[in-house]
């Protein structure tokens, strides 16, 4: 986009700073059900939540044990957090003797063949979902699919885009301007996502049935040892513009994979994947951020974007925060609001192949080695830079942005959340990845024991007072 960060802030200051707080936000939280020994629950999805295909608040992800909690889009993150907490309390209550695992990395897992994929009704939609999951299992193994995370969804307000278009639109089509804005934001997210991995990474260790500890890791989940797809890594999906993005993804959807063709589509008369292409369907595309549009019946995500443009973004890089019953804190959500606005307002040139290699390398460095003292990252302008120095440069802009956001309600919450995260740049003991390991060492806990203690603590918080009946729309 043809704007610079300070120029955009000047425009917002002259018009209406409330525009920064207007929009829609939502959260999807995945979590495994476990027994009190920390072993994966092999029971069916609780009947209290009804049909998985019909319940849009509590359903399953890949596995029958992998519960997914979904908030609707809401007009403030405070509302999102309240809804998610009530929903979490009700889920914990309905699990009866089981627990909600508080980590992204899996609990004690059985052998691959004993991990049950999610089961659905014998309907065309249900059968497709099961076959798709069989395909994931055959392609990547079930254990990788057992990793869970937090997805943070956001859309900016029409009012904000009206203002940006008025000052920076240069007469182009307004819908195209909005699409370009979302893609510009996504490019900057890719550039600076290492900061979120550093600040919020909460999977430095895993159970021996999955993996083991890697010294100085912040997030095994988003590393090559976690949820990754080497086959997709051989192909580039560009975020430089909408047409290129759609073209690249559609190519993956129609291009046969030599590796997946060896699996076959049928085995012993049973279909075991939807097709032999690089992607069975667009939801298989693994990325730390997805640009999306609400789909209509029978419509694919890519067709929806082509017809009506981008309407929201899905941030998929967040580990479950084990220190929060909801898996994500309200302060994290405040910070994400500031960070994503920074990504939108910061100058955003196209990402060429050389830079793409650097931003991916930074992602891997921070996920595996983020707690190393004086870690060097690869700056997008060339050369290397200390993680603390680059972080400070970004935080200068986050402080400016949060100050303007706080003028709306005069409560200082955005500045305070940015300040809290800023201190992590120089004190790694404040990082959730460090806190997890330090608390485990202090108490002499294994990963599983620590997880059980946290899960039991959250179960005991639930005094049965808050139920689904108190959550609007359920």
Sequence spans of domains, the chain: 5-116+147-255+287-464
pLDDT at 298: 87
User: 5-116+147-255+287-464 maps to which CATH number?
Assistant: 3.30.590.20
In this prediction, residue 467 has a pLDDT band, given cuts at 50, 70 and 90, of very low
What mean pLDDT do residues 170-179 have?
95
Bridge partners (DSSP) of residue 31 are: 67
Percent of the chain beyond pLDDT 90? 90
Instruction: For residue range 306-326, list pLDDT tens digits in order.
Output: 999 999 999 999 999 999 999
What mean pLDDT do residues 180-189 have?
98
Bridge partners (DSSP) of residue 69 are: 29, 58
Instruction: For residue range 198-233, list pLDDT tens digits in order.
Output: 999 999 999 987 766 688 999 999 998 888 777 777
Question: What backbone phi and psi angles, to 5 degrees, belong to 233?
Answer: -65, -15
Contact 288, 316 (CB under 8 A): yes
Residue 81: is its pLDDT beyond 70? yes
Contact 309, 154 (CB under 8 A): no
In this prediction, residue 2 has a pLDDT band, given cuts at 50, 70 and 90, of confident
Residue 466: is its pLDDT beyond 50? no
Instruction: For residue range 428-443, list pLDDT tens digits in order.
Output: 999 999 999 999 999 9
pLDDT at 470: 52
Query: Tokens at residue 176, please?
Result: 């195209």
Contact 244, 238 (CB under 8 A): yes
pLDDT at 473: 44
Residue 26's nearest CA partner among 421, 341, 312, 413 is 312
Contact 43, 119 (CB under 8 A): no
Instruction: For residue range 331-376, list pLDDT tens digits in order.
Output: 999 999 999 999 999 999 999 999 999 999 999 999 999 999 999 9
In this prediction, residue 416 has a pLDDT band, given cuts at 50, 70 and 90, of very high
Residue 91: is its pLDDT beyond 90? yes
Residue 193: is its pLDDT beyond 60? yes
Burial code (b: 16+ CB inside 10 Å, e: under 16) for 79-100 equals bbbbbbbbbbbbbbbbbeebbb
Residue 472: is its pLDDT beyond 80? no
Instruction: For residue range 247-277, list pLDDT tens digits in order.
Output: 999 999 999 999 999 999 999 999 999 999 9
pLDDT at 257: 94
Q: For the ranges 113-117, 222-226, 286-290, which has the lowest average pLDDT?
A: 222-226
- Token pair 């941030």 is found at 315
Q: Average pLDDT of the chain?
A: 94
What mean pLDDT do residues 458-462 have?
87
Q: What is the pTM of this model?
A: 0.95
pLDDT at 228: 78
Instruction: For residue range 128-171, list pLDDT tens digits in order.
Output: 999 999 999 999 999 999 999 999 999 999 999 999 999 999 98
């Amino acid at each position: 986009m043809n704007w610079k960060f300070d120029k955009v802030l000047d425009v917002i200051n002259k018009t209406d700073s409330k525009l920064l707080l207007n929009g829609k936000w939502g959260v999807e939280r995945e979590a495994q059900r476990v027994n009190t020994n920390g072993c994966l629950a092999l029971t069916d999805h609780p009947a209290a939540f009804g049909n998985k295909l019909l319940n849009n608040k509590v359903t399953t992800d890949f596995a029958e044990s992998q519960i997914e909690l979904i908030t609707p889009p809401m007009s403030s993150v405070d509302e999102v957090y309240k809804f998610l907490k009530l929903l979490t309390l009700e889920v914990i209550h309905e699990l009866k003797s089981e627990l909600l695992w508080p980590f992204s990395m899996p609990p004690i897992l059985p052998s691959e063949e004993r991990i049950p994929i999610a089961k659905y009704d014998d309907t065309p939609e249900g059968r497709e979902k099961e076959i798709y999951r069989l395909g994931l299992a055959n392609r990547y193994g079930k254990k990788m699919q057992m990793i869970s995370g937090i997805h943070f969804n956001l859309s900016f307000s029409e009012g904000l885009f009206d203002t940006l278009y008025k000052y920076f639109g240069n007469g182009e089509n307004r819908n195209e301007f909005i699409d370009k804005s979302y893609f510009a934001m996504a490019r900057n997210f890719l550039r600076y996502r290492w900061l979120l991995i550093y600040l919020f990474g909460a999977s430095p260790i895993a159970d021996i049935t999955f993996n083991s500890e890697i010294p100085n890791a912040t997030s095994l989940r988003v590393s090559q040892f976690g949820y990754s797809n080497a086959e997709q890594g051989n192909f580039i999906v560009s975020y430089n513009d909408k047409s290129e993005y759609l073209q690249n993804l559609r190519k993956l959807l129609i291009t046969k994979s030599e590796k997946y063709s060896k699996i076959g589509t049928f085995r012993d008369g049973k279909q075991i994947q939807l097709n032999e292409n690089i992607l069975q369907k667009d939801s298989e595309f693994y990325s730390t951020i997805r640009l999306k549009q609400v789909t209509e019946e029978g419509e694919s995500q890519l067709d929806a974007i082509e017809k009506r443009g981008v309407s929201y973004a899905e941030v998929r890089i967040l580990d479950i925060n084990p220190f929060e019953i909801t898996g994500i804190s309200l302060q994290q959500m405040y910070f994400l609001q500031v960070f994503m606005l920074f990504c939108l307002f910061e100058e955003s040139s196209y990402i060429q192949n050389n830079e793409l290699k650097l931003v991916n390398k930074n992602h891997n460095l921070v996920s595996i080695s983020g707690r190393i003292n004086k870690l060097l990252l690869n700056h997008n302008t060339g050369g290397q830079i200390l993680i603390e120095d680059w972080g400070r440069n970004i935080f200068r802009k986050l402080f400016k942005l949060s100050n303007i956001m706080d003028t709306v309600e005069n409560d200082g919450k955005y500045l305070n959340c940015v300040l809290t995260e800023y201190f992590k740049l120089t004190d790694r003991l404040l990082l959730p990845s460090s806190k997890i390991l330090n608390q485990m060492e202090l108490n002499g806990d294994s990963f599983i024991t620590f997880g059980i203690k946290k899960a039991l603590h959250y179960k005991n918080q639930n005094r049965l007072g808050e139920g689904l009946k108190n959550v609007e729309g359920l």
